[in-house]
Structure 1
Amino acid sequence: MDNTIKHSLFVLLFALLGLGFWLSADFKTIVAGIAVFVFGMLSLQKGFKFFTGGVLERLLRNATDNMVKRLLFGIVTTTLMQSSSLLSVLVISFISAGLLDLTAGIGIIFGANIGTTTGAWLVAGFGLKVNISGYAMPLLVFGVLLHFAKRKSYQGVGHILLGLGFLFLGIQYMKDGLDAFKGNIDLSQFAMTGLSGLLTYVLLGIAVTVVIQASGATMVLIIAALASHQISYENALALAVGSNLGTTITAVLGAFGANIKGKRLAGAHVLFNLFTGVLAIVFLRQFIWLVDWLCDYAGIAPDDYTLKLAMFHSVFNVVGVVVMLPLSGLLARLLETFMREKTASVELPRFLTKSALQYPDTAVESVHQETRHLYENVTHVILRALGLHRRDVYSGQDLTEVIGQYPEIKDYDIDDAYERNIKGLYSAIIEFVSQARFTWEMKQSGRLYWLREANLKLVEAVKAVKHLQKNLLKHHRSYNRYQAEEYDRIRFQIAFVIRELRKIKDTEQVNELPLLTLDALKGRIKEQRQAAIEIIENLIRERKISAEAGTSLLNDSSYVYEIQSNLIRMAETVFINHAADSVKAEKELALTDHEMLAVIRPTQAVDHE
């Protein structure tokens, strides 16, 4: 049904454009100007995307320390890119991936709303007073030359120059078209006053922005029409308010491929624009007075309505930010309360979204967060198969006492748990990584490779638990106390590793040498394995257990070591921040497997003596 409606609207739009082209050559010039301007914006966005392989993302992460930085980042970035849409999509991607929280995203979006107003100043103060197309030509020439360069950074600059050139051309086309259009049709005769005129032109501004999908192009069209005296000053103000409200549709569309966190940011964007729009409509007279006073103070002529429109566009956005900024925390909490994540019978990915695929850093972080999510599910399944609960294993209680509290192990359906809690997540992660089409020269591709391997280790750990479960259920309450003690020891060893990894996970951002802790844990499980083999052999030799039972214990001891090793190898990738300088130093201190064996064997020799 939705596709039918969209198709019908496209057909209607094409029919109206065709009719307009047939009726007026000047209309063609205006529409061509809009098309060239929008194409310039798209080229500008594409150019900046060449620099999203780490630079823009690092800047974005560093812009979350405080609200002032968030606002400035939103203002400066949108001013440079002349597109709040690209920044909105980028921020939604970062929030969906867990790189930003909702309050930080709201602050950046507030700044972006102020940044969008700079385009109106550029057009009103420069574009309409100078033959701007003369500046477009060299930009286009150099842009095309750089576009064919081999280095991606040069290609990015080329796209940016092309974008600026097409923006300037589009402005000139719109200006010339409206000037010529006035000679045939005077749109100023359709000017409306009062509340009905205000609401009519607000709705018209919304409609135009929704069709064009670029509030910047709408504002250029409004300013050009105002400069050509095709619309009145008050109607232009109403159109500007409508263009601001129309951008909320872009935010909603950008959130379709996001998770619930991204949708909350889109909701914040919509609520902010609705608030500022209503504020501008209700207090329009007061805003007009404030604009007149500011323009008089700035030396802007009373009849320079294009600059006054640019001033109005900035003022009501700034006032909206000033009013809403103290409420950003409350707004975030309300959105989190009313926009809840849906629960499902089968575990679904929380961080893998289409929006995250657009940028390397968000793609990597999404996989990283989803792997942590999978790890929590895997440890739950492993411990349940051992007859234990995470709350007890993660507590400060002695693990031996925890094992003693659960002498009975219930038959836990690992196959069903795998289907419900693991298989879907693992498949989604593998599919997501395969869709992340980044070149292998980029460091993000290497990280994705190691994260994929970490997920494989988690799945292999679950499969090893399944093999272990059969004998564990059969023999853990054996009449032979030696055999029962060995299976309790197996439960202890696996639970011990999971508890230690939880400590590393909780302190991974603190400088407590987690890699060296992992080294110690590796040494511990190797010692446990050697000790288990010797104990089992002694029990067989002393005829305390049968050779058949001993063989089963040896096999199960191998499964235990496999589970422990897979979990630790996963932790090396997922729980250690490899980018930190402290971790680089730890890597130099960390022991290889050969070095570890060299340390363990002499220690064991001393113990035997």
Structure 2
Amino acid sequence: MYSTDYFSIIVSVLGGLAFFLYGMHLLGTGLEKASGGRLERTLEKMSSNIFKAVLFGALVTAAVQSSSATTVIVVGLVNANIIKLKQAIGVIMGANIGTTITAHILSMMDIQSDNFIINLLKPTSWAPIVSIIGIILFMAGKKASQKDLGQILLGFGILFFGMFQMSDAVAPLEEVPEFIALFQNFSNPVLGVLAGAGVTAIIQSSAASIGILQALTSTGQITFASAIPIILGQNIGTCITPIMAAIGASKNAKRSAFVHLSFNIIGTLLFLFGVYAFQYTIGLSFWNNPITSNDIANFHSIFNITVTILLIPFAELLEKLALTFIHGDKETDADDQDMSSATLDERFLRSPGLAIDHASRCVVKMGELASRNLWRVTSLFADYDTKLVEKIREKENTIDRLEDRVSTYLIRLSEGQLSDTESRQVSMLLQIQSEFERMGDYAINIQECAERLYSSGSSFSASALEEIKTLSDAVSECITKAIHAFTEQDISIANSIEPLEEVVDIVEETLKERHIERLKEGKCTVDAAFPYIESLSNYERIADHCANIGMCLINEAAKNHNIDRHEYRRILHQGLSEYYSDLYNQYKETYYNKVLNIH
């Protein structure tokens, strides 16, 4: 008889736990999508002051209903060198406070009253209503914001449904002697802490393990003596998620996870000593009384707030402790500063807004590398340097690796749940990083032209070098504008690329015609002619890709993805706006007229 009852109870509890965890996931994901990454970006800005960091860490965690989620984000930010270890400590402390909000919401199940208004506050009354509203918004909503709100409400409803199921499932244990004896053993502080830490580590959520404990209070057999050590242990068990997230990360990311663990262990030891010293000397009158769901929520908050207040003055000591246990030499710590690898942190995939921000930084880096390589390859025509060639190829390899990583990262991100805006941003990033990668390829083509010129023993005349330099300057300005337009999302700069690209076209055509004339007149050798002509074409193609980036940004700003670059040019030439005409003439004066004056 007991075995059948136990089986039903276990299955029901596990089923309720599954709903609880899924509800938390829906709630957190919905809030993240609704925020569009603003929570994480603000977290990045608010961590400069430890008190602001604690406050905002608590607010973010209260919103996403998971201290583990907040701490994992912090590990990612530290790994990406966005915030320093010292800044992360305050956020971690605040996350421990914010996670107690879930327990207080769950404790509302204990409300008992004959008053209709007060009864409406009970989750059993409003959770079904919230779920109904949530599913209607999620399925019938036309806007992304409506669907996100529906997901948030649905997450709340499912979370409480799981809580109801766990509470109902464990109710029969009230009369089971073995269950009573089991929890009497947990009054031993060591066993209680280990049990709380173990369960929380397995399900990777202190809010969920607190919820299970609150559900068990419905049996009336859980006392303060057995519950307090379990609650303290749950705060240690929740550290497993950031510890796992720090595996393979930078030294500082590992240190931030260590700070989280050490903070909770120190806090647990302080409270264990304080509570049990008081109990064994003065005595707590309620020690062996049954604990309620509301009592658990209150103790959880008191513990985390008190520990945070006590340890804030020792934040620097926590940092030194982490540096002592996880030490690194200057070389390995310098390696951690490599932004090209750090910014594409998989921990950000759960936060699309933040992931897009940091993927954008990598795309900008690709553009900057391509721009510097263009300057380097142009200098090879006047002075071919094999060491510089090695550096050029090394940077091109970096661009290629970044392109591969950015593409893979964004594709993985697109497989998740994204808003319409985020989906468009991912598509735009995929296109722009491809444009920058192609610029790097054309720079290598120019380097190979310089190499052939050098190998043949030929050289360009002074006038040809000046022509190449002028064209290169125009194209470099194109790249600079493309990078700035993308970084600042400035459409006026994006609109200024096309007239400059058209000037690059007429400069290239003019230089080709002029060089063919020199070749006919015997003023230029064949060995020098082909590298020169090919180089001109490669410069012009780089400018084309810059114009493609400008067009991409213009389309995104106008929410119009149907106009291609050729159509855009046709529209411009039809109207030939004053803005476009003025820029075109300005660039023509700067570059085309300069070329005409070269003899």
TM-score, length-scaled by structure 2:
0.71
Q: What residue is the counterpart of 2:230 in the other structure? A: 239
Deviation at 1:115, TM superposition (A): 1.6
Q: Distance in 2 between matches of 1:591 and 1:341?
A: 53
- The aligned residue for residue 164 of structure 1 is 156
SS in 2 for 1:352: coil
Answer yes or no: is the 8 Å Cα contact 1:478–1:484 preserved in 2.
no
Residue 398 of structure 1 corresponds to none
1:313 correspondence with 2:317: no
Report the Cα offset of residue 496 of structure 1.
8.2
Establish whether residue 209 from structure 1 lines up as the match of residue 200 from structure 2.
yes
Q: Which of residues 464, 477, 481 in structure 2 aligns to 1:486? A: 464
User: How far, CA to CA, are the matches of 2:505 and 2:12 in structure 1?
Assistant: 72
Matches of residues 302-451 of structure 1 in structure 2 within 5 Å?
A: 305-306=291-292, 307-325=294-312, 338=328, 349-379=341-371, 382=374, 385=377, 408=385, 412=389, 417=394, 420-435=397-412, 436-437=414-415, 442-451=420-429
Aligned residue for 1:586?
A: none
1:58 to 32, 38, 51: 38
Letter in 2 for 1:114: I
Residue 555 of structure 1 is matched in structure 2 by 534
In structure 2, what is the equivalent of residue 84 of structure 1?
Answer: 67
* CA deviation map 1:559-587 (0-9, x unaligned): 2333455467669989xx989xxxxxxxx
Deviations 1:276-313 (A, max 9, x none): 23333343347879x999xx9xxx99968445543332
Structure 1 gap segments, 5+ residues each: 1-20, 389-402, 580-588
What is the one-letter code of the residue matched to 1:412?
Answer: V
Compute the displacement of 1:202 (Å).
0.4
Aligned to 1:53, what secondary structure does the other structure show?
helix
Q: Please list the CA deviations of residues 40-61 of structure 1 after superposition, one character each: whole Å capped at 9, or x if unmatched.
A: 3422431442343352522432
Matches of 2:469 and 2:268 in 1, distance apart? 62
Q: Quote the Cα distance in structure 2 between the aligned partners of 1:82 and 1:482.
A: 67
CA distance in 1, matches of 2:130, 2:511: 74
Out of 445, 453, 456, the residue aligned to residue 431 of structure 2 is 453
The answer to whether the aligner puts 1:23 opposite 2:23 as a matched pair is no
Separation in 2 of the partners of 1:427 and 1:73?
A: 35
Q: Distance in 1 between matches of 2:371 and 2:90?
A: 37
Cα RMSD (Å)? 5.3
Question: Which residue of 436, 446, 451 maps to 1:473?
Answer: 451
Partners of 2:445 and 2:267 in 1: CA distance: 62
Counterpart AA for 1:490? I
User: 2:267 aligned with 1:276, yes or no?
Assistant: yes
**Structure 1 residues 126 and 606, CA, compared in 2 at 3 Å: closer, same or farther?**
closer
1:244 Cα shift?
Answer: 0.8
**CA separation in 2, counterparts of 1:173 and 1:606?**
80
Spell out, residue by residue over 1:300-329, the C-alpha distance to the aligned partner (whole angstroms, 9 max, x if none). Answer: 999684455433322221233234445557
- Name the CA distance, whole Å, in 2 between partners of 1:351 and 1:223: 40
The question of whether the paired residues in 2 share the 8 Å contact of 1:494 and 1:564 is answered with no
Question: Which residue of the partner structure matches residue 95 of structure 2?
Answer: 112
Q: Tell me the secondary structure at the aligned position of residue 524 of structure 2.
A: coil
Segments of 5+ residues of structure 2 without an aligned counterpart are 114-121, 559-575
Contact 1:40 1:167 in 2 (8 A): yes
C-alpha change, 1:268 and 1:285, in structure 2 (3 Å) is: same
Q: Residue 50 of structure 1: SS of its match in structure 2?
A: helix
Query: 1:40: which partner in 2?
Result: 20
More deviation, 166-175/57-66: 166-175
Q: Report the residue type matching 2:439 in the other structure.
A: A
Task: Calculate percent identity across the aligned residue pairs.
Answer: 21
Shift of 1:491: 5.8
Structure 1 residues 439 and 542, CA gap change in structure 2 (3 angstroms): farther
Query: Which of 71-80 and 200-209 deviates more?
Result: 71-80
AA partner of residue 452 (structure 1)? L
Q: Which amino acid aligns with 1:545?
A: C
How far is the alpha carbon of 1:207 from its aligned partner?
A: 1.4
CA contact (8 A) 2:376 2:388 kept: no
Question: Whole-Å Cα distance in 2 between the matches of residues 329 and 520 of structure 1?
Answer: 55
CA contact 1:41–1:82 (8 Å) conserved in 2: no
**Residues 200 and 206 of structure 2 are in contact (CA less than 8 Å); yes or no, is this contact kept in structure 1?**
yes
Match of residue 218, structure 1, among 209, 216, 220: 209
Q: Give the deviation of 1:546 after TM superposition.
A: 4.2
Q: Give, as a single letter, the amino acid of the residue that structure 2 aligns with 1:49.
A: T
Q: Distance in 1 between matches of 2:268 and 2:498?
A: 59
Q: What residue in structure 2 maps to residue 13 of structure 1?
A: none
| TM-score normalised by length of structure 1 | 0.70
Show CA shifts across 1:238-278 (max 9, x none).
Answer: 10011111111133345569787765654443333333233
**Residues 64-73 or 259-268, more deviating:** 259-268
Looking at structure 1, the residues matched to 388 and 124 of structure 2 have their Cα atoms a distance apart, in angstroms, of 77
